[in-house]
Amino acid sequence: MSLPKHKADYWEETYQKQQGHPWSGTRPEWWQPVIEKYQPFPKTVLDVGCGEGDKARWFAEQGYEVTGFDISQKGIETAQRHAQDLERPPTFIVGDMTKLSCLDLPQKQYGLILDVLASQFLPEDEEDRYLSSLATLLGQQALIVYKMLERKSENAPTIARDGLKREHMEDKLRPLFEIAEVRVESSANRKDTDIVTFFLQTKDRNRL
């Protein structure tokens, strides 16, 4: 029986199988135009499901105050090790996104929140609680970048929760956030899969 993908045991086993080869995250050149388009926002970043800390490290190098958390102890240990050389390294925490409201985060609100293919594994009931908690962490003039995978056909394999659709997420996100933009890109690694990115802002902020 396979382990649930939103549980710690699954990710500890996954990182163990990697044998020290970190996953490649969204490339820095993808983030720079996003920052330029949606500035200004406070230079505090929360990286949800940060894994081995590639995104967190890049933002710290750009002068942001970064917090990253992940359910995997091994992932966090690797992230801390990779950031040891930085003058102001990110703060890394072992934490469960399903208990987001209980995490001892260094900031009460953040200017930029990254959920890059992290919460797409959650069961739907836990997804609702997570998104509600996430909304409380979004400051004024702030931005969430939320990425998910969507199958192009019903028969295509997926690592996300089975049946997760863009329309489903729009319905979940719209009551909580202003959806400023939605991008759909073909996955470079999975030809039958799209990467859907939502750019989310506080409800009382005008669209850019």
Give the predicted TM-score (pTM) of the model: 0.85
pLDDT, position 17: 61
Lowest mean pLDDT among 59-73, 115-129, 157-171: 157-171
User: What angle do the packed helices 124-136 and 166-173 form, to 10 degrees?
Assistant: 40
Tokens 């956030």 identify what position?
Answer: 177
Inform me whether the pLDDT recorded for 4 exceeds 50.
no
- Give CA–CA dist 139/141, Å, rounded: 6
pLDDT, position 14: 62
SS3 for 74-94 is HHHHHHHHHCCCCCCCCEEEE
**What integer is the mean pLDDT of 163-179?**
90
**DSSP H/E element including 8:** helix 8-18
Task: Give the phi and the psi of residue 186 in degrees, each rounded to 5.
Answer: -70, 140
- Give CA–CA dist 200/188, Å, rounded: 24
Residue-wise pLDDT for 5-30, tens only, equals 445 565 556 666 665 444 445 566 78
Tokens 């902020």 identify what position?
Answer: 205
- Delineate the domains of the chain, giving CATH numbers in brackets: 28-201 (3.40.50.150)
pLDDT, position 151: 76
**What integer is the mean pLDDT of 24-44?**
82
What's the burial of 139, exposed, middle or buried (CB within 10 Å: 0-12/13-18/19+)? middle
Inform me whether the pLDDT recorded for 158 exceeds 60.
no
Average pLDDT, the chain: 83
